[in-house]
Amino acid sequence: MENMNTVNWGLWLALAMLYSVLTYNPLYQLLLFAAIISSVVWLRQPILSYLKVALLVSIIPLLVNVFFIHLGDTVLVEIPRHLTIYGHRIPVIIFGGNITLESSLTGIIMTLLLVNMFSAFQLFNTMTSPDSMFRIIPSTFRNLSLAISIALRFIPSVIRDHSSIRDAQASRGVRFNSASKTTRIRNHMSTLIPTIVTSLERSFKLSESMVSRGYTGKRTRYSNEAWTSLERAISTAFMSGFIISIYAKMSGAMDYWPYDSLHLPLLSPIAVLPLMPLLMPLFEDESRRTE
């Protein structure tokens, strides 16, 4: 199959995000995880880089649910609410209480949900480019989208400028690690104005360059992305996935909440169907697969 265009990649991301937030059923979350990771592996993306950041961020809900939420009837570990130290009873306000199976399972489900969302977004970000995203934005929002795109591209440059200015100031004897907090703040503020001036100079140069190249003229395109009958069929599949996902949620096929009643989650065919379009990247052309 030929490569999916940017619009279809956006629909793929939207369907993955929608599906992940519609259900707390761990089986559906695992199936979604399998669909996303299989696409990552097929497209030869570094799987560890996808999971590392996602796990670091997603571990927080697990810890919060396990140690801070003491709901549920199935007690795994009981942490005393008071500790006796040298004869004094000290209340354990935050961690005291029962660690339950329900809260632990909920934390695992929320962690898996966030891992799915982070992994899907990172794959989308890898397989598309800011320029392709900018081209599909309607002309009505052209100026706004261009301003946002330029601002995002300027962030790394501003960080590099600030680092260079800070190094230059340090070589002149400015101490950024002074013992006095007031002195540290004042020394760091001394890098603010040069950084702003440098950023403004870059902005003026960019604006002059854009005007000299005819930016004020009508928007043109060197080439348009392919929008064949196959791409339309793929878009239809994604839209069908949206409709089926919402229908499955409204019918209760995706409902699961460990705190209500702890039981084995069930699978419904109607709730599995929306996962099928998410496997479209497995049919990507060989040219899109990177070592």
Instruction: Please provide the average confidence, as pLDDT, over all residues in the chain.
Output: 79
Quick: pLDDT tens for 110-123: 888 988 998 898 88
Is 70 exceeded by the pLDDT of residue 84? Answer: no
Quick: pLDDT tens for 226-238: 678 888 888 999 9
Mean pLDDT within 73-90: 65
Q: Where are the domains of the chain?
A: 1-136+226-291, 140-224
Confidence of residue 90 (pLDDT cuts 50, 70, 90): low
Q: What is the pLDDT of residue 107?
A: 83
Q: What is the pLDDT of residue 91?
A: 60
Sequence-separated (6 or more) residues with CB below 8 Å from residue 114: 54, 57, 58, 61
Residue 188 tokens, joined: 């760091």
Is 70 exceeded by the pLDDT of residue 223? Answer: no
Task: Fill in the amino acid letter for 88.
Answer: H
Mean pLDDT within 185-194: 81
Confidence of residue 173 (pLDDT cuts 50, 70, 90): confident
Q: What is the pLDDT of residue 287?
A: 47
Q: What's the start-to-end Cα distance of the chain, in Å?
A: 19
State which of 16-25, 154-163, 228-237 shows the largest mean pLDDT.
16-25
If DSSP codes are grouped into helix, strand and coil, which group holds residue 56?
A: helix
Confidence of residue 96 (pLDDT cuts 50, 70, 90): low
Give the separation between CA 273 and CA 282, rounded to whole angstroms: 16
Mean pLDDT within 26-53: 84
Mean pLDDT within 148-164: 79
**Burial letters 111-140, b for 16+ CB under 10 A, else e:** bbbbbbbbbbebbbebbbeeeebebeeeee
Confidence of residue 72 (pLDDT cuts 50, 70, 90): low
Looking at the whole model, is its pTM more than 0.95?
no
CA angle, residues 284, 288, 291, in degrees to nearest 5: 120
Confidence of residue 78 (pLDDT cuts 50, 70, 90): low
Q: What is the pLDDT of residue 87?
A: 62
